Amino acid sequence: MVSATKKPPKAGRQKSRRAPAKSRAKKSAPRVDDGLDDIASPERSAPALAEVDAEVLEFIEAVDRFKKQHGRPFPSWSEVLLIVRQLGYRRD
């Protein structure tokens, strides 16, 4: 027969079994020359809104409208194609 008794909750915080933060610090691995040091990293990941052309803004607005109308955080690829077609895209 299985007992249905519950254990009483423990008071306070339990003592951590983890090592102190100083001893957990990651040790840096030896640096390997991969030849990528000469490549400049981009200053930002996306262009400023002022640099985006009107067609891109129209597409972004259409996607935002779709997401609000359908209560979805992200459209599927099929839905993106639907949005693009509603904007007038036709394949030749």
- For the segment 31-42, what is each residue's pLDDT rounded down to a tens digit? 666 666 666 666
Q: What pLDDT was estimated at residue 10?
A: 61
For 74, the domain range is 51-92
Does 79 fall in a domain? yes
Does 58 fall in a domain? yes
Q: What pLDDT was estimated at residue 67?
A: 97
Residue found under tokens 């194609």: 81
Total domains in the chain come to 1
* Higher-scoring residue by pLDDT: 85, 16: 85
pTM, two decimal places: 0.48
Question: Which DSSP string corresponds to 11-50?
Answer: PSPPPP-SPPHHHHSPPPPPP---S-TTSPPPS-SS--GG
Does 14 fall in a domain? no
CB within 8 Å of 58: residues ≥ 6 apart: 87
Does 9 fall in a domain? no
**How does the average pLDDT of the chain come out, rounded?**
77
Q: pLDDT digit string (tens) for 24-33?
A: 556 666 666 6
Helix (H) or strand (E) holding 73: none
